[in-house]
Amino acid sequence: MRTFVGRGRARALAQPVASLIADAGEAANAVEDGATTTMAASLAAMLASDGTSLFSVPGYAWIDGVDGARDAAEVGSWVSGVGPLQFTVGYARCAGVQVETATSTQRQLVTSSFDAANWAPVVVDFDHRGGFITGDYNAITQVTLQMLALLPAGHCRVRVVDPVQLGKSADFLHRLGDAGESVLGNRIETTAPGFVRLLEELEAHITYVTRKFLQGEFSSLTDFNLAAGEVAEPYRLVLIYDLMTACERSPGNPDPDLWIRLQKIINAGPRCGVFVIGHAAQIPPDVQEHYLDSLLLMHEQPSDDWIRSVFGEVVESYHGEGPIRSVEPRWVTRGLSPLADATLAALRGRITGAIRSADDVVVTPAESARVARAKSEREQGSSVPGRMAIDPDDPLTWWKGNSADGIAARFGRAGARDVAELVFASDTRSNALVAGVPGSGKSVWLHSVVMDLVLAYSPVELELYLVDFKEGVEFNEYARKGLRHARVIAIESDRDFGLSVLENIDREIERRGVLFKASGGRDVNIATYRETTGEAIPRVLLVMDEFQKLFERDDRLATRAGELLDRIIRQGRAFGVHVLLATQTLSGHDGLKRHTLQQVTTRVALRCSVDESRLILAENNMDASLLSRPGEGLINYAGGNKDANVRFQATFWSPDARAQALDQISKLLDAAGVGDIPWVFNGAEPVPARGLADLVRGSNPNRTLALPVGMPYLIGQDALMRLRRVAGGHGLFLGTESWAEVNSAAVAALVDGAEVRFVLAPTDDLEIENAFEEVLGLGATPVIRSRVSEAFNELAQVVRERHDATRYRDRAIVFAVPMLHRMRMLDLTDYANEVVEAAETILKDGPEVGVHLILGVDGVAGLDRRLTSNQLREVGVRVTGRLSREDALRLLDSDQPSGLKEHELYLDDMEAGTARRAQRFERVPPQEMFALLTSATDSEHHGE
């Protein structure tokens, strides 16, 4: 409700009071002619003047109001916003006046019965008085719901203390459903320790509001909000049920310390937007006098003879001249009438609807850019030199940023007029930590940061590592669009890959250290290096979502990851290397040392619990628990210090807008020839085939063939089947997809210039048959089933001839058998088989003269039916999918293949003594693979 003065009601009250004065004068036999009339007129004039002058107590006013929310229609017409917080808490009427005459030092009480029309609403101005005490549950419910309905959604937080009913008293808030949880939070205090903790939080909050908002300039938070045009900081409404019990140390034993702490909140809270409503059937006079004198006590008495002043001892008396020395009205109070069901439903509907609408608050990229431009015009630039304003819809404004002194992501709106910035520089703002529960908008925030950065800075200025450890799709779009700013994009990464990313960045820091030292000494940083050398070395930003997965097990990997991350955070800033760590929770994960996180002074908190807010921000900073909307958060550059909180709403990039911008980025960078396709790791899917175009294999048909198996699992490694001209230089693919992998290896060998002889296995699968035909169409020589024995004997003869002529650098010959398990004539375990002698010649002597076998078998059983253990020993490069632990140990002397995922391979190069995981490439037709590998080879040769 909004306060207004009803003169009609004031006049209606004036006449009965004047009549009482006359009665009092006559009873005292001390009224001179005309004195009563003059007194009545004077009092009536005061009552009618502005409705408040009778009572000079700030915070109380008579208004021509209604009993709370009158009906559903009225509730529907309310407009929420910033305004005075004045609410009807009950009713009062004048039950009599107490007069003092000139002839008597005794005061006389004259009473009269007024009809119901003379009840006047009692209004509490919360900004001044801060609350009231009542025995009327209904009054607490109505005032709370009206405050929630009239303030902007999300800008009134209710905290409840309920030591007797244990939360039941707040049922009216629970009936708001999800909106009630948003308003009430996840905790109701029912114990003395909980009440103390709440008071401590409120004390800290009052201090924060005083410093942050009032600053000696504004008398109250509402004054500040009115000046700002919005609710900058949510109000706190504290409901304390069974007040006397809540403040007991033990049953019947009041806790003076608790009362004193509560008194501090009651006295200091109103100006900072902290209000208290207490529930109590009775308040002892000494408690009222010592601790609650600032609050209005509204109690309904059953007997009419209970008459008291609503306004305590500070009711202003009317001091007249003449026979009547003073007049003091006496008032009786009553509570609010219960609201009709329809009105209650309308109130709840308004609150829940407003909160849901507030959850839909969207700051578009265009709006964020507009706010950023306005700030740049006001302040002549950004907090980071070199950061320029951009228009997300105008590519001509993109990539104007210079990262020499740092990078700044303008990721949303702060308040009504400011832009929210995340800065990474070589000072204390070098790294950042963000946390938010599911649904808090962490993904929205991450997208807002990444998208702004890739529009503001070119790949020459910025290099990203995007690593996501959870089963999500946060970085999928960047991978599919081939974001050139990204060196690595990992989706559903696992701990091994995450560790390899850290190792790679650590190596980059070491590399830059050597460069910087060579350019000018020990104190060189990225800015001075760029200035000295003119080399636009980019800043590196590692974004790790759900980074705590690295530390979920207490093992050697977690220890190593902790050491690397600590070093990167400590040393990286001077070399232009920064880290952004994101998580849903920091609770329960102690693998990363606390001192490492303490070095990260930039904290970003989205909606989370009180305990989580203390972890991500600071022990005394619970403000993140008060956030409600997705994408709403706090950024803090002071290690979580409460005074440094800046509230923001993150920019929302819709999937369509993001896709369009990324397409435009790729188009422009392709045209300019800038940037490389990122290394994409997806633990749940095969690698896109386009990654074949970026492989650097160093394959040579006259020396070593390096055939792609998949994408390396770890940065800094490769996943190539190297067929060397040494013993063991044959390859084996084991698994149900082995035919396709042999096909791919044969295509790669053709691209490299090797001669490929390809055995056509019998199959009724049209896909396999077509794939074989495509390999032959690319230049492979077919070996039909009836000529297999002959082909083996011919190849064995080639091996012998090359050895005899010492032709060790002749063109490589690859003999590909994609489905060995279906070739009975190649059962090499049967020494009666005429092909065994030729096969063993090739197995033992072929690699030295460039003759290699590439075999495909569908499983271990098929392998056992075709090769003896001695023959298998000559196959030095083995690639498998998932195996049983027993088979893995027998074939590879490792149990790692037993834990492989669907799209993973295990590459064991026995001759080189290396074993590693890799991801399969997606299956593509041989002709497409040939084109991709040819492109990669041409680029490789061009680079030479």
C-alpha distance from residue 351 to each of 66, 153, 183, 311 (Å): 20, 7, 10, 32
Q: Let me know: does 42 contact 320? Beta carbons within 8 Å.
A: yes
Type of residue found at 630: P
Measured CA to CA, the distance from residue 879 to residue 908 in angstroms comes to 6
Cα(712)–Cα(229) distance, integer angstroms: 56
What are phi and psi for residue 661, nearest 5 degrees?
A: -65, -40
Contact assessment for residue 324 and residue 35, using Cβ atoms and an 8 Å cutoff: yes
Q: Is 439 known as a binding-site position?
A: yes
- Per-residue burial over 393-430, b if 16 or more Cβ lie within 10 Å, else e, is eeeebbbbbbbbbbbbbbbbbbbeebbbbbbbbbeebb
φ, ψ dihedrals at 125, nearest 5°: -90, 100
Contact residues for 619 (Cβ-Cβ < 8 A; gap 6+):
none
Dihedral angle of Cα 580, 586, 591, 593, to the nearest 10 degrees: 70
* Closest-CA residue to 131 (of 147, 120, 117): 147
> What is the CA angle 690-925-486, rounded to 5?
10
Residue 609 assigned as binding residue: no
Do residues 575 and 406 lie in contact, with contact meaning Cβ atoms separated by under 8 Å?
no
- 443 in a known ligand binding site: yes
204: left (phi over 0), alpha (psi -120 to 50) or beta: alpha
Query: Annotated binding residue at 375?
Result: no
Residue 712 contacts residue 681 (beta carbons within 8 Å): no
Q: What is the DSSP letter of 693?
A: G
Phi and psi at 543, nearest 5°, equal -110, 115
- How far is C-alpha 230 from the geometric centre of its chain's CA atoms? 24
- Which residues 6+ apart lie within 8 Å of 122 measured at CB? 60, 62, 88, 89, 90, 91, 92, 296, 298, 310, 333
- Please enumerate in sequence order all residues whose Cβ is within 8 A of that of 559, keeping only pairs 6 or more positions apart, or say none: none
Does the annotation list 437 as a binding residue? yes
Q: How far apart are CA 541 and CA 561, in angstroms?
A: 17
DSSP-derived letter for residue 340 is P
The answer to the question of whether 438 is labelled as a binding residue is yes
CA 70 from centroid of its chain's CA atoms: 42
Two tokens at 831?
């020494």
Rounded CA-CA distance 661/663 in Å is 5
- Dihedral pair phi/psi, residue 717, rounded to 5°: -110, 170
Is 817 annotated as contributing to ligand binding?
no
d(CA 547, CA 8): 67
Burial group, residue 842, by CB count within 10 angstroms (0-12, 13-18, 19+) = buried
Q: Quickly list DSSP for 865-908.
A: HH--HHHHTT--EEEE----HHHHHHHHS-SGGGG--TTEEEEE
Residue 602, C-beta contacts closer than 8 angstroms, at least 6 positions apart = 422, 423, 429, 431, 432, 433, 635, 636, 637
Residue positions in the annotated binding site for ATP? 436-443
Residue positions in the annotated binding site? 436-443
